[in-house]
Structures are given as structure tokens and as C-alpha cells.
């Protein structure tokens, strides 16, 4: 077996040293009822590298890769070009095969990277401090709700109807067990975000208001008035961002008054990967809230010779010390995805991120203008970044998406996929456009969509 270095001679010598006759002697503590008499029969035997690659490739080939079709899907996961050097860096064995940096003297590479990552995320979000990442945006969203409860000692969260429904569902799943009250809503299909409706649901027991920016329909809510309304009731404003590229073009949540900013970092460096692993981002505007944050934090310090170095710090918040009193049970971060984000963001820099954002917006405007011209199609949004909502004049968007896929076009995400069976949402289609979209792709979508609808 190519991954097992011991030879039979080694095994015999080692058993002799141990004082055992057979390998079975080392498993004597396993009760007889659970002892198998050989390899598990229902599973195949070992296979060569070539055979395994063939097996897996056969499955990969059954999928239509985003790069092989006109592609317009978003709704929390976006296709962006990832520079080749990102993958080169993350495949270096010293990053790929390292562990959590608990021995900082021999983990400065990972630690310095995390410090840079935290700094980039904090700046992108307009916040003071970001952590070293969470599993993904949806779980980070729940962690923000839980943190707001610790800070305010209130246990009611008001969710915007235009928060990604998967995120709302995750929050509601978790709240079933913690006893928090979650006030959620369905998205209002209207041109402007329903800030007034959201504000009217805030009361004195509210720990936080959770709003997505840009929201699930691609609209851009005014966070300033939400922050003011939340703060007036003693609640925190939690802002969720699922498209970090947008923050190269629109104001940061921090500068508009958000207290906790969380989101999905997948757009920068990570790739689509059918939904995971992704990269949860988590930041707070006010440094005094740091000790209530979940997850790992990397901090700067010095070594015994006075050289600058980095360590994981404030770890008394975490499960391995606090056990049942920890701020979260989280035990990993998304280390390698954070590295990919860090490398990609370093390649972009301020200039590159702004240009990337502008190019996304430019192409999205072209797409919106073109698609709106299709008979029966209307554009819901007045404002958007790189994703907007089309209404298909009563046609079921989910069926339309399937028909487009049959024609080799990945045309968007239907709201019915996200909100199955909810009346009034069936004909809405989310269309995302990034720098990877060409004007030919837009034209192809327009033509095929027109054909499907007629």
C-alpha cells in the first residue's frame, strides 16, 4: 500500500519489542461482539492511484462546471477568477500540512498570515477587530446572534426578511436549543429594502437586528438608519455580507454603524466547490467587544529575544479552556481558506479590489439593461452591485432555470429554490454577474431566456 511505510519485517520486529505475538493482541480490549473477522465485505479492496483517479474523474465529468457554460448563479456563492499563484501558495506543504499554530515558535508562517488576514477583513468591513475565521457565513451569522445575546443580555433577534434564507434557517435551528427568540420574515418583493418594516419589529428585548448587505435580492439597504434604530432600543446591528467584492465599491458596514459584521469570504480566493469548504468572516466595530467574540484570534507579541512574533491569544474564551462556559464550541477555523483569501486579497490590493468591484458592477449593469428588455421580464431593483432580481411575468423561475440548464446555460437561482412553495416568489430569478461573465454570455442568456419564456 503506497501510503504505509511499515514492512512485514518491521511489523514483526515491532510486535516482538512490544511483547505481542499478533496484531490482534493489541486489540484485546475490543469486546468479541465488535471484532470483525476480516476486511469489511461490502466495501471494495485497495486500488491504484490510476484506478482511483479514473473512478473520481467519471463522477466529475457528470457535472457541468461553471467555467464550461454561461454562468449566472450567486445567492451566497460567487464565481470569481482566482489567480494561479493563490493555489500554488496554499499547496505548499508547510501551509497545507501544518496544524493549528499551538506551538508558535514553529508556526509563525500560519500566525503571521492570520494576523494579515484579520487586518484585511477588519479593514474591508470597517471594523476594529476580525477573528481568524469561522466555518462559513451562515454559521458566523448564528455566532453573531449568540454574541449579541451575551453583550446585551437580551435574547430576541430580529432578522431581516431579505437575509439569505439558509442563514435564517441556521439561526432558527440553533435558537431552538438555546431558547433565543427569532423574529424572521419573508422577503418583500419590492424595489427598495423594507427598512421601515424591519425597524417596526425592534423592541426593548431585542438583542440584535440582522440585515444582509447587499441583501438576498441584490438590493442595498441603508444601514445607517437601521443602526440608529437598533441602538435607540439598546440592540446591536449585525450586518451580513455574502459578497465581499461588493465592499470594494460600496460603503463598509462598520462606517455605517454596524456593531458586528459577519459574512462569507468565499468570493476571494476560495472558489465555488459546491458549497464548501468556505470561509466565515467575523468582525466587531468596537474593540471592547473582543472578549465576547467566538473563534480563534491571532495577536502580536515579542519573543524572548525581543523579535516581533505572533500567537493565538485570548484563548480563555474558547472551548478547550472554558469547556461548558466557552463563547462557542468552535474548535477549528477555515485556516487554508483564510490563507487563500489573504493571498488573493494581497494580489488585488486596494487598487485591484476597487477595479474588480467596478468591473463586476459594469457587467451587471449591462446584463440588467439587456435582460430587462426581454418581453415579460422586469427588473425589481433600483440599486444593486453584481446581483439583481428579475421577475418573469408569472412564469415559474425554477422551471425556467431547469430549461435553461438543458440548453447549457446556468441562468441564475430561482427564489423558489430558496423559499420553496412560498406564494408570490415563484417567478423571481436571482441573476449574478461577475468579472468572469462575458458580454457574449449575457447575450446567450438573454436569447435563451427569451426563447424559454415564449
Partner 1 sequence: MPRYFTDEHEWIDVEGETATVGITDYAQEQLGDIVFVELPDVGAMVDKGGEAAVVESVKAASDVYAPITGEVTETNSSLEDEPALVNTSPEEEGWFFRLTISDTGELEGLMDDKGYKTFVDSL
Partner 2 sequence: MNAPNKSGWKPEMQVSEDGLHNGPSTTTGNRALMLEEPLIFEIGHPETTGVDLPEIDPDAPNRLGGFDRSDPIGLVGLTEPETVRHYTRLSRQNYGIDLGFFPLGSCTMKHNPRLNEKVARLPGFADIHPLAPQQSVQGALQVIHELGDWLMKLTGMPGVAMSPKAGAHGELCGILAIRAAHTARGDARQVVLVPESAHGTNPATAAFAGYKVEDIPATPEGRVDLEAIKARLAPDVAAVMITNPNTCGLFEKDFREIADAVHAVGGYVYCDGANFNAIVGRVRPGDLGVDAMHINLHKTFSTPHGGGGPGSGPVVFSEALKDFAPLPVVRKTADDSYELVEEEGRKHRGQSFGRMTAFHGQMGMFTRALTYMLSHGADGLKQVAEDAVLNANYVLRSLEDILHAPFADSGPCMHEALFGDKDFGGGLSTLDLAKALIDEGYHPMTVYFPLVVHGAMLVEPTETESKASIDQFITAFRSVTERALAGDESMKQAPYYAPRRRLDETQAARKPKLAWQDPEPSA
Residues 312-341 touching partner 1, rule: CB under 8 A, are 314-316, 321-322, 325
The CA distance from 419 to 164, in Å, is: 10
The CA distance from 15 to 135, in Å, is: 42
Of positions 143, 267, 271, 371, contacts partner 2 by CB under 8 A: 271
Give the nearest distance from C-beta 311 to partner 1 in angstroms: 9
Of positions 160, 212, 333, 395, contacts partner 2 by CB under 8 A: 333
| Location of C-alpha cell 520486529 | 13
Of positions 41, 204, 288, 440, contacts partner 2 by CB under 8 A: 41
* Dihedral sign computed on CA atoms, order 276, 215, 167, 139: positive
Are 295 and 132 a contacting pair, CB within 8 Å? yes
Are 295 and 118 a contacting pair, CB within 8 Å? no
> Should residue 136 be labelled a site residue for partner 2 when binding is judged by CB under 8 A?
yes
The CA distance from 125 to 263, in Å, is: 10
With contacts defined by CB under 8 A, name the span among 41-49, 148-156, 227-235, 389-397 that binds partner 2.
41-49
Of positions 190, 200, 203, 321, contacts partner 2 by CB under 8 A: 321
The CA distance from 299 to 311, in Å, is: 6
Q: Site residues for partner 1, window 55-74 (CB under 8 A)?
A: none
With contacts defined by CB under 8 A, name the span among 125-133, 151-159, 389-397, 439-447 that binds partner 2.
125-133
The CA distance from 361 to 381, in Å, is: 14
Q: Site residues for partner 2, window 206-245 (CB under 8 A)?
A: 219-220, 222
> What distances in angstroms separate CA 87 from CA 43, 336, 394, 431, one per listed residue?
34, 10, 44, 28
394 binds, among partner 2, partner 1, none (CB under 5 to 8 A by kind): none
Q: Site residues for partner 2, window 284-303 (CB under 8 A)?
A: 290, 296-303
Pairing of strands 428-432, 387-391: antiparallel
* Nine-digit cell string for 359: 468591473
Of positions 155, 156, 166, 285, contacts partner 2 by CB under 8 A: 166
Residue 54 or 322 having the CB closest to partner 1: 322
Of positions 46, 291, 308, 373, contacts partner 1 by CB under 8 A: 291
With contacts defined by CB under 8 A, name the span among 68-76, 265-273, 311-319, 430-438 that binds partner 1.
311-319
> Should residue 139 be labelled a site residue for partner 2 when binding is judged by CB under 8 A?
yes
Spatial neighbors of 411 by CB under 8 A, at least 6 apart, are: 70, 72, 400, 401, 404, 405, 429, 431, 445, 448, 449
Binding track over 372-411 against partner 2, x by CB under 8 A: ---------xxxxx---------------xx--xx---x-
* Nine-digit cell string for 235: 440592540
Residue 186 or 314 having the CB closest to partner 1: 314
Of positions 365, 370, 407, 443, contacts partner 2 by CB under 8 A: 365
The CA distance from 207 to 171, in Å, is: 14
297 binds, among partner 1, partner 2, none (CB under 5 to 8 A by kind): partner 2
The CA distance from 221 to 6, in Å, is: 61
Q: CA triplet 70, 73, 75: central angle to 5 degrees?
A: 170
How many residues of this chain interact with partner 1, rule: CB under 8 A? Answer: 7
Phi first, then psi: what are they for 206, rounded to 5°?
A: -75, 125
Residue 189 or 249 having the CB closest to partner 2: 249
Of positions 122, 208, 245, 258, contacts partner 2 by CB under 8 A: 122
* Nine-digit cell string for 451: 426563447
> Should residue 367 be labelled a site residue for partner 2 when binding is judged by CB under 8 A?
no
With contacts defined by CB under 8 A, name the span among 182-190, 197-205, 230-238, 305-313 that binds partner 2.
305-313
Residue 229 or 298 having the CB closest to partner 1: 298
Neighbours of 406 (CB within 10 A): 10
**Cα 176 → chain centroid:** 23
Residue 190 or 301 having the CB closest to partner 1: 301
| Location of C-alpha cell 416568489 | 425
With contacts defined by CB under 8 A, name the span among 40-48, 150-158, 182-190, 197-205 that binds partner 2.
40-48
Give the 3-state secondary structure of residue 24.
helix
Binding site for partner 1 (CB under 8 A): 291, 314-316, 321-322, 325
Amino acid at each position: 500500500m503506497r501510503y504505509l511505510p511499515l514492512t512485514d519485517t518491521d511489523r514483526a520486529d515491532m510486535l516482538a519489542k512490544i511483547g505481542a505475538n499478533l496484531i490482534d493482541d493489541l486489540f484485546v480490549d475490543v469486546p468479541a461482539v465488535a471484532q470483525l473477522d476480516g476486511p469489511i465485505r461490502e466495501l471494495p479492496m485497495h486500488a491504484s492511484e490510476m484506478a482511483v483517479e479514473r473512478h473520481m474523474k467519471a463522477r466529475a465529468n457528470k457535472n457541468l462546471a461553471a467555467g464550461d457554460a454561461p454562468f449566472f448563479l450567486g445567492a451566497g456563492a460567487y464565481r470569481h477568477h482566482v489567480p494561479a499563484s493563490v493555489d500554488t501558495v496554499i499547496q505548499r506543504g508547510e501551509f497545507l500540512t501544518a496544524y493549528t499554530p499551538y506551538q508558535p515558535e514553529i508556526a509563525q508562517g500560519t500566525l503571521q498570515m492570520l494576523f494579515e488576514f484579520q487586518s484585511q477583513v477588519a479593514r474591508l468591513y470597517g471594523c476594529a477587530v476580525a477573528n481568524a475565521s469561522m466555518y462559513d457565513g451562515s454559521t458566523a451569522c448564528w455566532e453573531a446572534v449568540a454574541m449579541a445575546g451575551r453583550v446585551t443580555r437580551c435574547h430576541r433577534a430580529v432578522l431581516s426578511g431579505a437575509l439569505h434564507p439558509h442563514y435564517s434557517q441556521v439561526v432558527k435551528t440553533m435558537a431552538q436549543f438555546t431558547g433565543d427568540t427569532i423574529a424572521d420574515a419573508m422577503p418583500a418583493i419590492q424595489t427598495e429594502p423594507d427598512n421601515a418594516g424591519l425597524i417596526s419589529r425592534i423592541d426593548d428585548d431585542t438583542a440584535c437586528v440582522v440585515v444582509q448587505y447587499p441583501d438576498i435580492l441584490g438590493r442595498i439597504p441603508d444601514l445607517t438608519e437601521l443602526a440608529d434604530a437598533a441602538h435607540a432600543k439598546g440592540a446591536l446591528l449585525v450586518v451580513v455580507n455574502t459578497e465581499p467584492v461588493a465592499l470594494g465599491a460600496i460603503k463598509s458596514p462598520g462606517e455605517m454603524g454596524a456593531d458586528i459584521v459577519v459574512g462569507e469570504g468565499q468570493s476571494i480566493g476560495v472558489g465555488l466547490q459546491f458549497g464548501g469548504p468556505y470561509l466565515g468572516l467575523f468582525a466587531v466595530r468596537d474593540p471592547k467587544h473582543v472578549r465576547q467574540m467566538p473563534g480563534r484570534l491571532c495577536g502580536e507579541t515579542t519573543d524572548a529575544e525581543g523579535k516581533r512574533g505572533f500567537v493565538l491569544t485570548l484563548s480563555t474564551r474558547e472551548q478547550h479552556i472554558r469547556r461548558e462556559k466557552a463563547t462557542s464550541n468552535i474548535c477549528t477555523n477555515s485556516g487554508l481558506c483564510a490563507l487563500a483569501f489573504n493571498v488573493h486579497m494581497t494580489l488585488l490590493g486596494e487598487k485591484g479590489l476597487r477595479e474588480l468591484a467596478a468591473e463586476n458592477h459594469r457587467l451587471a449593469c449591462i446584463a440588467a439593461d439587456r435582460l430587462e428588455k426581454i418581453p415579460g421580464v422586469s427588473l425589481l431593483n433600483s440599486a444593486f452591485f453584481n446581483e439583481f432580481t428579475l421577475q418573469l411575468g408569472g412564469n415559474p423561475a425554477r422551471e425556467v432555470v431547469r430549461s435553461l440548464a438543458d440548453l447549457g446555460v446556468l441562468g441564475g437561482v430561482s427564489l423558489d429554490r430558496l423559499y420553496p412553495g412560498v406564494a408570490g416568489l415563484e417567478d423571481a430569478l436571482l441573476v449574478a454577474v461577475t468579472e468572469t461573465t462575458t458580454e457574449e454570455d449575457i447575450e446567450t442568456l438573454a436569447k435563451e431566456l427569451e426563447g424559454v419564456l415564449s
